[in-house]
Homo-oligomer: A and B are copies of this chain.
Amino acid sequence: MITFHRPTHFYETLDTNHVMEDAFAKVQHECQSDEIGYYKLPVTSREVIRELQAYTQDNSVLLEAQTVVAVGIGGSSLGAKAIDSLLRHKRTNAKELIFFENSDPVDIVSKLKKLQKENLALILISKSGGTIETISTFKAIVAYLDFDFASDDAKRLIVITDPDSILSQFAQEYGIKEFTMPSNVGGRFSVLSAVGIVPLFLMGYDVEALLEGAGSLIDRFFERQEEHLLQKAYYLYTNNQTISINVLFAYSNLLEDFSKWYVQLWGESLGKIDTQGNRVGLTPIGLTGSVDQHSFLQLIIEGPRNKSVTFMNIDDFEEDITIPNISLKRIEKTDYINGNSFGKLINAQCDATMQSVMDSGVVADKISLSIANEENIGALIAYFELLTSITGAMMGVNTYNQPGVELGKDILVKKFQA
């Protein structure tokens, strides 16, 4: 279960201009017209699962692989990585999921050393097909493992890309198994497409439950049973000039990679030149509690009133541990916590910090996962995707493109071709 706590006046809104209804209509149209495809992934990706089941039945090396390598960056890695980080402590198999993302040589070398060809499933993910970090790293892996496309090695490889991309043509050229991303699904909205489903399936996660959780929330939203999403988006939209920073304060290390996924989704979707030619956007920041109580919290409490804070927690960690009943001489003042679990401590810290943030006049809300499982994570993903689409609709931006990053790519190519 996932619970949305709204303890402040965050959602009390008077919407005389029907901004909420207009945004709902726009998002509904995006979904119904198939202009934007992520809304239907909880349904359409069931076909990906069936295809994966059939393919891996005939190709057991992929299921037996103890190391699953995903080569991809940005929208091609952040989602699956977030989910793996939330769930890997609960896995009963000994598999490892390794992401090659950055072009950092030290990072690449240290990860290459972990690879053995006999033990590997290799997933190459690039929407456009030509992402320079991804293809270069793939070449480094091919060379390091002496990977031969003409041999059985090819059975260890899966390509995920846009239909008709150059990477899709590459896969067909070498007879490599390919899954395509729906062309109406952008990279940062693609975690529930093959991009996320393929690596997570190979790791043994319950991808059906992931889709189920996301699908339920999306259905409820379109049935007008999750109106708090519209109200929250409306608040963020109407106050975006003053409250320009949105902090996700997640109380567990398990949620650190989820915050990175959120930062891409929110920042890259809403940071745009709007239809009026104005530069708009909301700045996402991901924090981890309780650690960042000792870092960023001071700025939230006493600094400029330009932030809203969404707290996030896991009610039941399942794997919990008790603070022992040890009394150390001279530091007895910490004994008040003895006998409680660390899970209870961190959740109490979340509540105490939220209260202190609100007491200081900062707007806050909170999202609680009952436990970390596939269904709840699916719902969490759908929540932030819907919130992004609605807020983008209100702000009058194209939520789904990223024109600002092309210039740097062009400059890079020229540096090497000169």
Query: Chain A residues in contact with chain B, CB under 8 A?
Result: 73-75, 78, 89, 101-110, 112, 129-130, 132-133, 135-136, 139-140, 142-143, 166-167, 169-170, 173-174, 187, 244-245, 251-254, 260, 263-264, 267-268, 270-273, 279-281, 283, 285, 288-291, 293-307, 317, 319-321, 323-324, 326, 328-331, 333-334, 336-338, 340-343, 345-346, 348-349, 351-353, 355-357, 359-360, 402-405, 407-409, 411-413, 415-417
Contact = CB atoms under 8 A, between A and B. Distances in A.
Contact of A166 (B285, B298, B331): B331
A304 B303 CA distance: 20
Contact of A407 (B89, B132, B301, B412): B301
12 contacts: A78-B295, A102-B346, A104-B254, A106-B252, A136-B345, A170-B329, A244-B304, A267-B296, A272-B303, A280-B303, A283-B283, A293-B408
B252 A343 contact: no
A351 B73 CA distance: 19
Given A170-B331, A345-B136, A303 B271 contact: yes
B75 A412 contact: no
A377 to B, nearest CB: 15
A108 B139 CA distance: 38
Number of copies: 2
Contact of A279 (B133, B289, B304, B345): B304
Nearest to A171: B330
A236 to B, nearest CB: 14
A147 to B, nearest CB: 10
Contact of A408 (B78, B291, B297, B405): B297
B102 A404 contact: no
B285 A330 contact: no
Given A105-B321, A355-B408, A302 B334 contact: no
Given A135-B328, A356-B408, 9 more contacts: A89-B106, A105-B346, A264-B296, A268-B298, A272-B303, A281-B299, A283-B283, A302-B403, A336-B413
A300 B132 CA distance: 21
A26 B306 CA distance: 29
Given A109-B319, A291-B73, A330-B173, A404 B302 contact: yes
A349 B73 CA distance: 14
Contacts of A329: 169-170, 173-174
A280 B415 CA distance: 41
Contacts of A304: 244, 271, 279-281
Contact of A129 (B289, B299, B331, B417): B331
A328 B170 contact: yes
B299 A283 contact: yes
Contact of A323 (B75, B140, B267): B140
A119 to B, nearest CB: 21
A321 B264 contact: no
Contacts of A323: 136, 139-140
A74 B296 CA distance: 10
Given A353-B408, A415-B348, A108 B321 contact: yes
Contacts of A253: 102, 104, 106-107
B404 A130 contact: no
A319 to B, nearest CB: 6
Contacts of A360: 404, 407
A66 to B, nearest CB: 19
B106 A334 contact: no
Given A283-B303, A302-B272, A331-B135, A324 B263 contact: no
Contact of A254 (B106, B174, B331, B353): B106
B139 A328 contact: yes
A136 B415 contact: no
